[in-house]
Structure 1
Amino acid sequence: MRNALPIDAVVGDYVQLANGGGAQLKGVCPFHDEKSASFYVHPGKGVFHCFGCGESGDTISFLMKIEHFSFAEAVERMAAQAGITLRYEEGGYSPRHQQGERTRLVEAHKVAAAWFQEQLGSPEAEIARGFLAERGFDEAAAKHFGVGYAPAGWEHLVRYLRGKGFTDKEILVGGLASQGQRGGLIDRFRGRLVWPIRDTAGEVVGFGARRLREDDNGPKYLNTPETPLYKKSQVLYGIDLAKKEIAKTGRAVVVEGYTDVMACHLAGVTTAVATCGTAFGEDHIKIIRRLLMDTSAYRGETVFTFDGDAAGQKAALRAFEDDQKFAARTSIAITPGGMDPCELRLAEGDEAVRELIENPVPLFEFALRSAVARHRVDTAEGRAAALEETASIIVKIKDRSIQHEYAVQLAGMLGILDEQFVVRRVGQLARWQRENGQQPRGQALRRADGGQPAQPPRPVHRLNPRDPAQFVERELLKLALQHPDLVSPAFDHYGDDEFPTPPYTAVRRAIRQAGGTAYGASLPDFTATVRDASPDDQVRSLATELTVEPLRTRRKPDAIYAGEFLVKLRLQAVDRRVNEVRAHLRRLGDRATAEELGPVQGELWALQQYAQQLRNKGAAGL
């Protein structure tokens, strides 16, 4: 069964795969958030491995991990997709009792979706057909999207599903019915137009239902509640229809409703998706990033469409806050006259919808103009306040090459003639961001007494293998994990302060907790011990990553190579201390007494002598 389906066909339902070199394919890992394609699939061997988070396995373990399947449910999914009939032992074939719960719930939703679609043709559903027709959707459109109708009675669907062999528990757990006041089950959706909501694999996991009658006191839109199948923060309506085109074109379009998705697809914008009863959030971003292969090396685009009213602008600015979670460019298409894409298509035709999506405004530009509009830029105070708010927006732009361009544009928006003043202010904030890992928020940081600007916040270190100092930390930790015998016992005498990058400090502590490299050298798999000693998944994941990442040497790692990095790390620590002592001497100044200067100068001399010893003797000088 493990080979019933090619692994790339199964993984391809969730991740866009590209040539990874040789016989391998690569994509953005679905199990952790990353900005590089670290997830590799080997179709010939039927396995996958992520060099970022360490997840690995075969087709079945992939399904178990990504869908939270049991082993049996993963086998059942593969069998269904491959057209293989399973036989259940211990009592013969009895799928109703022996299939996994999730498989049964998926089957119930599939049956319910077909039944809803059939009911759309009934006399009672005339109001539903009229609703669709008024919005430009004919019978063929309804069939394409699987739109159906839920009759107005109390238990039509419940009775139908019971007749198909589903238990009351399965119907209730699946969110297809709710508990009535008298103890029985009643249909969750009654007298409503119904859209099936599918996952990326195309299976129905829930429904969205629209109120049609004035006497319906329920919400305008009613969705399936949270169930083992349906997590509203993790589903996108239309993703099953849009995923291939998103991967092909490198563009995803996010709209606000079911009819907007339908309108876009029918107009030729087949990359449109929508959230289901919740705001666009981080889990939705992850779905789209995987399909876009959204990495720092690839420039895709996500286009958000929102109404031009205040609520739409607010939603757009929420999307702006999520921009940093994308590597792709993010843009916004504001519909004219407050129309949504469905209304636009009805009023002006398919071409108008395509033009809307083809001519979006960069989300940064929209955010800038929205921020400026909140201030009275006809006054000096208003311009100053607007500058502080908008400058902090510009420094969030990932592409530094266009930061300057936006700073110049901002001067024009604010009516400030001195463009260089605005450019300098943006540059100041950008430097603070690069040096400190964050940007100041709001107005310029100033002392409470109104004096000079205060010192920027303390640095927040981020892993950057290109940073020469961090590279030394990383390479030495890789040696300690992969070849503990080469760095022992010297490594075990290094303190936490010699690994100043916090994530690397945490791995250093885990190595100590695991017994150190002296103990690790006696073990067949030191990494497993370090992973067990790690305080959390983050440290555990980094330790795994450092174990599988090749060392940066073309020759076989040996004691000489290890010694080079032991010396380099110690020299970095000594040089940092030398700089601190020199700064202390400068602060003491010319007025310091001999008693004050003596100990500090002595420490500086000793440090310089030790550094020279390390440079002359290498590892022998440790």
Structure 2
Amino acid sequence: MITRETIDKVFETARVEEVIGDFVQLKRAGSNYKGLSPFSDERSPSFMVSPVKQIWKDFSSGKGGSVVTFLMEHEHFTYPEAIRFLANKYNIEIEETETSQEDKIEANEKESMYLVSEFAKTYFHDTLLNSEEGKAIGLSYFKERGFTNETIAKFGLGYSPETWDAFTKQALSKGYQLEFLKKVGLTIAREDGKHFDRFKGRVMFPIQSLSGRNLGFGGRILNNDKKAAKYLNSPESDIYHKSKVLYGIFHAKQAIAKQNNCYLVEGYTDVIQLHQAGIENVVASSGTALTPDQIRLINRLTKNITVLFDGDAAGLRASVRGIDLILEEGMNVKVCTFPDGDDPDSFARKNSYEDLVLYLENNAKDFIQFKASLLMDEANNDPIKKADLIRDMVVSISKIPDRIKREIYIQETARIMDISEQVLLNTLAQLVQKDISEAGKKLKQEQKAFEVVKNEPLFQQEKVNIVYELERKIIEMLLLYGSQEADFDDFILKANEDGEMIEEKETNTVKVHQRIYLSLQEDEVELANPLFKEIYNDLIAYYNQNEHFNIEQYLMQLSIEHSQMVTDILMLEEKELLHNWETKHIYVKTKIQNVSQYVSETIVSLREFLINKLIMDLMNNYSSEEENDLEELKSTINDYNKLKVNLTNKIGRIRSTYL
């Protein structure tokens, strides 16, 4: 169990903008940062990070919290895992008490799978470096590929022995359960109860997540067994979904964000060789055809992809299919091919870093130029084939969401193919209209529902929940101003010289959280919203135990649900920055000029609302025909109305009723 001292040190050291910046491309927005949501598919930024408050908020999904909460949400870490990740990132030594056997047993299933996968990575790497078989076969292969010791260590490359169950026996002897070895696909069990290693006799390529967690493996066979697949990947599991993973993303993420470009290749060795050569912003699609989820993973880091392929026809055709998917995600794509007989791996081995960079810069073509040069050879002056080629190029352009980009590419295509721009625009319009028509059919039912709602009378629309808004304001004041001192006016009944009771104003300086607590206690008011009530009680308890409010320390003790609500309130001001109102000459008020007035008005508004509710309840429940009862009701309501006037007069303004 990690000690409190270690957790405190992690929170003191970790910077939310640095940690999140490893996963999301962030851009300055005043004193904050903004970027695309890592939790939803969007093209306009709704994700905000506040370095001052050390919190983040994703306005598209509603998620938010501290740096630890982000790791728990994005990487699905447990709380201890997030702390360990941050401690490792900032070189903080972890102090912990000994984990009991009971705690180990209670580890959830997914965590057990991660532990098994991490053990396998260590085992395969150790076997490669320290066993005679591993050095003779596996290490020799990697050395022949030109990989250095540093590269082998960095990518955790390994070797699985030729013996049928060498890994499984070792894992079981170390206490790892067969159930989880099978679930992650490292061990295959037969019906007769026997089991064997999936990756027997293969060199191993660990596949890591964006945060560095080991998800699965790719294994390459080295013998000439024609019945066995050359490459074998881990099967799908609760921790490994190959369509959502990119090989090398953990080692490439910082370089991708820094270079604002991502090189996309086909194989594991392509990634490793380019990385070793100095081109670190490179990933591979893990032995699968490129998927939208993989493209979105890159989109969090950059808008630019350069696809690298060798000159074989199959590879080039695959690149064409992937291009349309990339364009659909609103990204910019270029393609670079290597000379005949070369792939990214072999080309990187032959050339220096400088020559490699120069080649990539000079030979990366825009996708239109690439498609034209690729398919023109096939057309071979055949007018029918040329027409099909042009249509193929327009189909790709139709995938681009941005209309301005579409028109620019149409102009470029017209120039390259020597064809009328108007003809291309007409073809594009037909394709776009077809897409819209197909999408329209899917939305037909939703449109009907919308028409029903749209035609409903205005008075049937849901009213604003006044209590919710007022209680939210109370939480907001506690979070933003709870530890501040302010001058509050109180009216005390005192006897004058003539013995008459009069109200006399008295100004007291107290902390905001004390004023709010005493005011609600005086009226015996409890917050109606269960979530607000829990947060309110947490905040009051926190202020009673701590002299000053520390947002990072406070967020540490909150559940994810509470954390999301708190950051939503704290980041409300930052949310307005996403709209760039200033560019439209609209200036948003960002600070409360008079805290005491704000607190007093909110408390009085809540009191007014509750008084109005009491009056309405009295009127709705009145059913007696007795004249005395009616007079008593009128008198009670009159007293309540006088109380409302008295309340609003005390803060210098008459409030409008909410009912």
TM exceeds 0.5? yes
Letter in 1 for 2:133: E
1:364-403 per-position Cα deviation (integer Å, ceiling 9, x unaligned): 2222344444545444x55544444434444555676676
1:304 aligns with 2:304: no
Q: How many residues align?
A: 468
Question: 2:35 matched to which residue of 1?
Answer: 27
Q: Which residue of 338, 344, 348 maps to 1:345?
A: 348
1:161 aligns with 2:165: no
Q: Which residue of 18, 39, 44 maps to 2:27?
A: 18
State the distance in 2 between where 1:521 and 1:508 align: 24
Structure 1 residue 182, shift from structure 2 partner = 2.9
Question: 2:494 matched to which residue of 1?
Answer: none
- SS in structure 1 of the partner of residue 335 of structure 2: strand
State the distance in 2 between where 1:86 and 1:509 align: 58
State the distance in 2 between where 1:163 and 1:410 align: 64
1:104-159 per-position Cα deviation (integer Å, ceiling 9, x unaligned): 33333223222211211322131223322332224333223221111111222222
Letter in 2 for 1:269: I
Label 1:303 to 1:382 Cα distance change in 2 as closer, same or farther (>3 A): closer
Question: 1:198 matched to which residue of 2?
Answer: 208
The 8 Å contact of residues 302 and 328 in structure 1, kept in 2 or not, is answered as yes
Structure 1 residue 256, shift from structure 2 partner = 0.6
State the distance in 2 between where 1:514 and 1:280 align: 48
- SS in structure 1 of the partner of residue 300 of structure 2: helix
The 8 Å contact of residues 395 and 426 in structure 1, kept in 2 or not, is answered as no
State the distance in 2 between where 1:84 and 1:54 align: 32
Letter in 2 for 1:362: D
What 5-or-longer segments of structure 1 have no aligned partner?
295-300, 442-455, 462-499, 529-543, 557-622
The 8 Å contact of residues 328 and 401 in structure 2, kept in 1 or not, is answered as no
**Which residues of 2 match residues 605-620 of structure 1 at below 5 A?**
none
Q: Which residue of 87, 110, 118 maps to 1:110?
A: 118
State the distance in 2 between where 1:524 and 1:46 align: 27
State the distance in 2 between where 1:398 and 1:522 align: 40
Label 1:405 to 1:204 Cα distance change in 2 as closer, same or farther (>3 A): closer
**Which residues of 2 match residues 449-464 of structure 1 at below 5 A?**
none
1:494-540 per-position Cα deviation (integer Å, ceiling 9, x unaligned): xxxxxx9x8898499399799943544666369x9xxxxxxxxxxxx
Structure 1 residue 16, shift from structure 2 partner = 2.5
1:244-285 per-position Cα deviation (integer Å, ceiling 9, x unaligned): 111111010011111101111122111111121211111111
State the distance in 2 between where 1:178 and 1:513 align: 64
Question: 1:611 matched to which residue of 2?
Answer: none
Greater displacement, 49-58 / 502-511 = 502-511
Label 1:356 to 1:281 Cα distance change in 2 as closer, same or farther (>3 A): farther
The 8 Å contact of residues 163 and 201 in structure 2, kept in 1 or not, is answered as yes
Structure 1 residue 333, shift from structure 2 partner = 0.9
The 8 Å contact of residues 79 and 85 in structure 1, kept in 2 or not, is answered as no
Question: 2:133 matched to which residue of 1?
Answer: 124
Letter in 2 for 1:307: D
1:275 aligns with 2:285: yes
1:577-618 per-position Cα deviation (integer Å, ceiling 9, x unaligned): xxxxxxxxxxxxxxxxxxxxxxxxxxxxxxxxxxxxxxxxxx
Question: 1:509 matched to which residue of 2?
Answer: 453
Label 1:432 to 1:215 Cα distance change in 2 as closer, same or farther (>3 A): closer
1:46-102 per-position Cα deviation (integer Å, ceiling 9, x unaligned): 43212233332334443333234556765665677664345589xx56542233333
Letter in 2 for 1:99: A
The 8 Å contact of residues 392 and 439 in structure 1, kept in 2 or not, is answered as no
Letter in 1 for 2:132: P
State the distance in 1 between where 2:468 and 2:460 align: 14
1:425-465 per-position Cα deviation (integer Å, ceiling 9, x unaligned): 123345667xxxx2558xxxxxxxxxxxxxx959969xxxx
Question: 2:61 matched to which residue of 1?
Answer: 53
1:367 aligns with 2:371: yes
Structure 1 residue 180, shift from structure 2 partner = 3.3
- SS in structure 2 of the partner of residue 322 of structure 1: helix
Question: 1:424 matched to which residue of 2?
Answer: 422
Letter in 1 for 2:323: F
The 8 Å contact of residues 307 and 338 in structure 1, kept in 2 or not, is answered as yes
State the distance in 1 between where 2:317 and 2:196 align: 38
Letter in 2 for 1:167: Q
**Which residues of 2 match residues 356-395 of structure 1 at below 5 A?**
356-358=359-361, 359-375=363-379, 377-379=381-383, 381-394=384-397
- SS in structure 1 of the partner of residue 340 of structure 2: helix
State the distance in 1 between where 2:438 and 2:193 align: 60
Which of structures 1 and 2 has the bigger CA Rg? Answer: 2
State the distance in 1 between where 2:127 and 2:451 align: 60
Label 1:74 to 1:514 Cα distance change in 2 as closer, same or farther (>3 A): farther
What 5-or-longer segments of structure 2 have no aligned partner?
1-6, 473-567, 590-659
1:218-267 per-position Cα deviation (integer Å, ceiling 9, x unaligned): 21111111122211112211111111111111010011111101111122
Letter in 1 for 2:422: R
The 8 Å contact of residues 75 and 211 in structure 2, kept in 1 or not, is answered as no
State the distance in 1 between where 2:140 and 2:172 align: 31
Percentage identity across paired residues of the two chains: 29
The 8 Å contact of residues 156 and 206 in structure 2, kept in 1 or not, is answered as yes
Greater displacement, 384-393 / 163-172 = 384-393
Label 1:369 to 1:525 Cα distance change in 2 as closer, same or farther (>3 A): farther
State the distance in 2 between where 1:405 and 1:382 align: 24
Structure 1 residue 345, shift from structure 2 partner = 2.8
Question: 2:273 matched to which residue of 1?
Answer: 263
Letter in 1 for 2:20: V
Label 1:459 to 1:146 Cα distance change in 2 as closer, same or farther (>3 A): closer
Label 1:196 to 1:389 Cα distance change in 2 as closer, same or farther (>3 A): closer
Label 1:317 to 1:334 Cα distance change in 2 as closer, same or farther (>3 A): same
Label 1:367 to 1:67 Cα distance change in 2 as closer, same or farther (>3 A): same
Label 1:197 to 1:384 Cα distance change in 2 as closer, same or farther (>3 A): closer
Label 1:307 to 1:440 Cα distance change in 2 as closer, same or farther (>3 A): farther
- SS in structure 2 of the partner of residue 137 of structure 1: coil
State the distance in 1 between where 2:58 and 2:265 align: 32
- SS in structure 1 of the partner of residue 138 of structure 2: helix
Question: 1:330 matched to which residue of 2?
Answer: 333
Structure 1 residue 339, shift from structure 2 partner = 2.0
1:288-326 per-position Cα deviation (integer Å, ceiling 9, x unaligned): 11112x3xxxxxx21111222221121111121113244
Question: 2:152 matched to which residue of 1?
Answer: 142
State the distance in 1 between where 2:439 and 2:231 align: 47
Letter in 2 for 1:425: V
1:38 aligns with 2:46: yes
The 8 Å contact of residues 167 and 197 in structure 2, kept in 1 or not, is answered as yes
- SS in structure 2 of the partner of residue 336 of structure 1: coil
Please give the root-mean-square deviation of Cα atoms over the aligned residues, in Å.
4.1
The 8 Å contact of residues 310 and 337 in structure 2, kept in 1 or not, is answered as yes
State the distance in 2 between where 1:9 and 1:103 align: 26
State the distance in 2 between where 1:394 and 1:108 align: 46
Question: 1:613 matched to which residue of 2?
Answer: none
Label 1:373 to 1:176 Cα distance change in 2 as closer, same or farther (>3 A): same
Q: Which residue of 197, 201, 213 maps to 2:223?
A: 213
Structure 1 residue 29, shift from structure 2 partner = 0.8
Normalising by structure 1, what TM-score? 0.65
Question: 2:294 matched to which residue of 1?
Answer: 284
State the distance in 1 between where 2:40 and 2:454 align: 22
Greater displacement, 142-151 / 354-363 = 354-363
The 8 Å contact of residues 242 and 288 in structure 2, kept in 1 or not, is answered as yes
- SS in structure 2 of the partner of residue 291 of structure 1: coil
